[in-house]
Amino acid sequence: MLKRKKPKKSQGKKFKLVHKYYKITGFYSFVGKNLKSAILPILGIIVAIFLFNKYVYNINDGLHHFTETFSRLTVLSVFFLSETILGLIPPEIFIAWTKKTDAPILNLAILATLSYSGGLISYFIGRMALKIESVKEYLEVKMAKNLANTRKWGGILVLVGALLPLPFSIACMAAGMIKYPFKNVFFFGLFRFARFAIYAWAIFKVVH
């Protein structure tokens, strides 16, 4: 038997209910607030890099020295570790590094894949943390706000973490701690690749 398609009215009603829920719970204000707080710092960083590169020190020379000092495997390993453990180092530094390598697009794709994979591993770290009482209590206190937001908004918060300058691994870890479905984290996390492409487009215009 053929499956009946859901009437457009019911789909529209569902969308309105979801929209109303996000509005009531403060999701839109949360995203708007983070977008406002993120845009200025991003623009500030790009302008600062441009001015620093022009008047203080040639960043291209610094990045060239960086690529000669550390092996590709070392840089990628440090990045992967950072992206798995709470996003300790800003990814922008590594995105700028890829521009000075022999294969910038390939290395950028590897960075995005490592960041995405680090987030997925963070999800399972969150799941495992529940089994260790002391770690569970520490993370529940340290990540109380993230856990509360993840319970309210689920995978949408993972999407926000993937796209905006928020710690992606923390969003994924919080999702793991509340046992949010992994398939949804897997899907929403894919937008991490879009973030790296957008940031690379901006940073590559500064680094030559």
Tell me how far apart the alpha carbons of residues 74 and 98 are, in angstroms, rounded to a whole number.
13
Flag whether 6 is in a domain. Answer: no
From first to last of its 208 residues, the chain has per-residue pLDDT tens of 445 555 555 666 666 676 566 677 666 676 666 666 556 666 676 677 667 667 766 666 666 666 677 888 999 998 999 899 877 778 888 898 898 888 999 999 999 999 999 999 999 998 888 777 777 776 677 667 767 777 777 677 788 888 877 778 888 988 888 888 999 999 999 999 999 999 899 888 877 6
Flag whether 131 is in a domain. Answer: yes
Flag whether 115 is in a domain. Answer: yes
Q: Please, are residues 154 and 73 in contact by the beta-carbon 8 Å criterion?
A: no
Q: Please, are residues 180 and 154 in contact by the beta-carbon 8 Å criterion?
A: yes
Q: Which two tokens stand for residue 171?
A: 């969003």
Q: List own/partner pairs for 179-184 with CB under 8 A and 24 or more apart.
A: 179/127, 180/150, 180/154, 180/155, 181/155, 182/123, 184/154, 184/155, 184/158
Flag whether 125 is in a domain. Answer: yes
Q: Which two tokens stand for residue 199?
A: 């940031």
Question: Domain residues for 109?
Answer: 37-204
140-169: string of b/e by CB count within 10 Å (b at 16+)? Answer: eeebeebbebbebbbbbbbbbbbbbbbbbb
Amino acid identity, residue 160? V
Flag whether 9 is in a domain. Answer: no
pTM: 0.71
Spell out the residues 6+ positions from residue 184 whose beta carbon is closer than 8 angstroms to its own. Answer: 154, 155, 158
Q: How many domains does the chain have?
A: 1
Flag whether 1 is in a domain. Answer: no
Tell me how far apart the alpha carbons of residues 208 and 55 are, in angstroms, rounded to a whole number.
16
Flag whether 169 is in a domain. Answer: yes
Minimal CA–CA distance to 196: which of 82, 89, 107, 71?
107
Spell out the residues 6+ positions from residue 183 whose beta carbon is closer than 8 angstroms to its own. Answer: none
